[in-house]
Structure 1
Amino acid sequence: MESYISHGARIGRDVQIGMATRIHDSVEIGDGTVIGDFCSIGGPAWPDAAPTIIGPGSIIRSHSVIYPDVQTGPAFETGHHTVVRSGTRAGINLRIGNFTDIEGDCEIGDYSRFHGYVHVGKGSRIGSFVWIFSLTTLANDHLPPSHVRSPVTIEDGVVICIGSTILPGAILRQGAFINPGIKVRGEVPPGAVMDGDPGKMVGHVTLLVHMESRLQHPWMNHYADAYPAEAQDDLRKLLEDIRNQRPRRAAKVVGIG
């Protein structure tokens, strides 16, 4: 099965395109990008749609669908069967896992990571170095279905563990840590560890320790080596900012494992 590449598309150098993939008008694919089989990039577009731009060095795995008017930075990476809808803007090296969908009009910073089966509601605002683990939902409608939209905001360095639900209008401040399966509403303070149902603050992320290994959060303290050299200065600053948010009267250590 042959691929289809529109005459209106701009394909960079050393781009690899798999079987049965369609690349539509007003699409720009950066140098060195790899696109798997059975993908659809940038179409069908409406007449005044902004271009779809995939940054250089990206990897788009099979059965991914990227709508018109999506723009990503370099080293964008998808799993299989992912969907990114129109109006999404993403920075450097966003990675999204299998069966994740980004529902459009979203802003996403640099080096964020979404695992598989994550649902990102329309209009979500997500910072840099954010981790969202599998089966998490970012909601945006208080009374579904309706035309009232209240997207969530997730600031830099936030971690949302598996199976959590971030309810419409929630604001997760810098460095917050959401335990698995939590429903989060309202504003979460900087560096807060959230637990329970509904989610409540049980400590500060600087007190979060894995008891067996003695690894201590924030995760930039022990996991920065997973990022490239050009990200290290930003990671160090983020770590310092989160540590400086720790309350003077710190609670007891929150042990895990």
Structure 2
Amino acid sequence: MAGDSDRIHPSAFIDPAARLAPDVRVGAFTLIGADVEIGEGCVIGPHCSITGPTRIGRDNHFIGHAAIGGDPQDKKYQGERTELVIGDRNIVREFVTISRGTVTGSGVTRIGNDNWLLAYTHVAHDCLIGSHCVFSNNSTLAGHVEVGDWVITSGFAGVHQFCRIGAHAFLGMGVLISGDVPPYTMVATEAQGRPRGINSEGLKRRGFDAARISAIKRAYRTLYVAGLPLAEARLQLEEQARDSADVRALLDFIESGERPLLR
């Protein structure tokens, strides 16, 4: 495998125990360790390190200088076997770091499909990331963060450990997230991130019609504008959810959380 200079640069090191699909391309000075699986169509750029146990799906592109599957940055970690699982068609830009899980968490860090992780993004141990997300430059996820589908984080956004970011949410530049962000919500920066409406433009681009967006806006006003205690807001959302699957998804997110809701 390593002798095929058309696909594998001669300066790359691939552990004999690694398993690469026959068409995987590997750039100069890249290291791929044991217990790493890389699927068909993947391109691993120069100066990357991929250590295991790590499972990578097909058609992913690691541009260069990425550190993938490293030990979790957790003082409790004692070398236990934990994993990183990456899906298909993800773009991983320069100097991205993604850690494996921990045994005190789920044991796995998991990334879905069709995500963009731009330069210097950090995904810590035990994070669970959906699909179709964009993490702009210097986005940072602490350990155990959960991110739904179609989430966008702007540059220098940071998310505290154990927080959840609901589907279709948008985090503005430099926001610091210390609570759960409901689906569809836009968060803008202050000393801490604060909700500032719904991500209506993103929803339009993804095919949400006017009626669906109107129902989500009404739910947002109930939760954030009406000045209601959370318990009363949840009762009103329960009524609204009878006519809207999107509001039902929002309410289910709120009711399943362990951390405080960002309000």
TM-score > 0.5, shorter chain as reference: yes
Unaligned runs of at least 5 residues, structure 2:
1-9, 71-82, 102-108, 223-263
Whether 1:65 aligns to 2:67 is yes
> Are the aligned partners of 2:112 and 2:131 in contact in 1 as well (CA < 8 Å)?
yes
Percent identity, aligned pairs only? 22
Letter paired with 2:198: V
> Are the aligned partners of 2:176 and 2:189 in contact in 1 as well (CA < 8 Å)?
no
Letter paired with 1:15: V
| Distance in 2 of aligned mates of 1:243 and 1:84 | 37
Cα displacement string for residues 33-90 of structure 1 (whole angstroms, at most 9, x for unaligned residues): 11111111025xxxxxxx3111100001111001152111101111101100012101
Letter paired with 1:162: M
Whether 1:244 aligns to 2:258 is no
Structure 1 position 14, deviation (Å) = 1.7
TM normalised by structure 2 equals 0.68
Residue of structure 2 equivalent to 1:157: 168
| Distance in 2 of aligned mates of 1:14 and 1:79 | 21
For residue 111 of structure 2, the aligned residue among 90, 97, 100 is 90
Structure 1 position 8, deviation (Å) = 1.0
Bigger radius of gyration: 2
Structure with the higher helix share, 1 or 2: 2
TM normalised by structure 1 equals 0.69
Q: Secondary structure at the match of 2:218?
A: coil
> Are the aligned partners of 1:3 and 1:21 in contact in 2 as well (CA < 8 Å)?
yes
Residue of structure 2 equivalent to 1:209: none
Residue of structure 2 equivalent to 1:230: none
Q: Secondary structure at the match of 1:171?
A: coil
Cα displacement string for residues 101-136 of structure 1 (whole angstroms, at most 9, x for unaligned residues): 111100011111101111100110110000001011
Whether 1:122 aligns to 2:124 is no
Q: CA RMSD in A?
A: 2.4
Residue of structure 1 equivalent to 2:26: 17
Would you say how many aligned residue pairs link Structure 1 and Structure 2?
Answer: 194
> Are the aligned partners of 1:175 and 1:218 in contact in 2 as well (CA < 8 Å)?
no
Unaligned runs of at least 5 residues, structure 1:
44-50, 141-150, 185-198, 207-216, 225-234, 252-257
